[in-house]
């Protein structure tokens, strides 16, 4: 059943059957209600997430408001940056509605990227784009 679900998500479309099986052994599926904080900016990280349904907000928590960075929809992934950079989470993420999410451990992400160039490329491109957006926002260009 989980293979069918994974295949519908663009992130996993390039997985071949051998690596599908390796991932399926370890992948976790989670259900979270609306308004649930998945993690806080500054937290240590041990997993990344792929959104199957629902939406989440990426934001910087400020003293009296939330500075929104992005709203992510089904098929999107997040939490990859801290795993790859080995830095703490660079933003907080919370659900905006009920969500179904898959989580991948740091080790599984590493195996996945080593064996699936299309996924490694998608993750690298997203990281560059997100880092660039956040830098420009910090400098007030956005």
User: Whose Cβ is closer to ligand CMP: residue 21's or residue 131's?
Assistant: 131
In this structure, are residues 95 and 34 in contact, taking their beta carbons and an 8 Å threshold?
A: yes
78 binds ligand CMP (CB under 6 A): yes
Single residue of 27, 45, 50, 113 touching ligand CMP by CB under 6 A: 45
Residue 6 near ligand CMP by CB under 6 A: no
Site for ligand CMP contains 110 (CB under 6 A): no
Beta strands in 62-140 (DSSP E): 66-72, 77-78, 92-95, 99-105
Residue of 89, 69, 70, 71 whose CA lies nearest to 79: 89
Query: Minimum CB separation from ligand CMP for residue 102, in Å?
Result: 14
Which member of 38, 50, 93, 113 binds ligand CMP (CB under 6 A)?
Answer: 93
DSSP state of 12: G
CA distance 99 to 77: 13
Segment contacting ligand CMP by CB under 6 A, of 26-34, 72-80, 96-104, 108-116: 72-80
The answer to whether 38 contacts ligand CMP (rule: CB under 6 A) is no
Find, among 11, 128, 130, 127, the residue nearest to 70 by Cα: 130
133 binds ligand CMP (CB under 6 A): yes
CA distance 56 to 49: 11
Task: State the residues that interact with ligand CMP by CB under 6 A.
Answer: 45, 58, 69-70, 78-82, 89-91, 93, 130, 133-134
């Amino acid at each position: 059943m989980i293979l069918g679900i994974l295949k519908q998500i663009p992130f996993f479309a390039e997985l071949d059957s051998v690596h599908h099986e390796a991932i399926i052994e370890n992948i976790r599926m989670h259900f979270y209600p609306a308004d649930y904080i998945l993690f806080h900016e500054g937290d240590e990280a041990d997993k990344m997430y792929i959104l199957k349904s629902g939406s989440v907000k990426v934001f910087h928590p400020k003293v009296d408001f939330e500075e929104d960075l992005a709203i992510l929809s089904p098929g999107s992934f997040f939490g990859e940056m801290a795993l790859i950079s080995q830095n703490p989470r660079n933003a907080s993420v919370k659900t905006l509605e009920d969500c179904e999410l898959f989580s991948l451990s740091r080790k599984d992400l590493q195996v996945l990227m080593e064996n699936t160039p299309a996924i490694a490329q998608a993750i690298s491109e997203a990281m560059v784009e997100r880092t660039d957006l956040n830098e420009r926002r910090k400098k007030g260009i956005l």
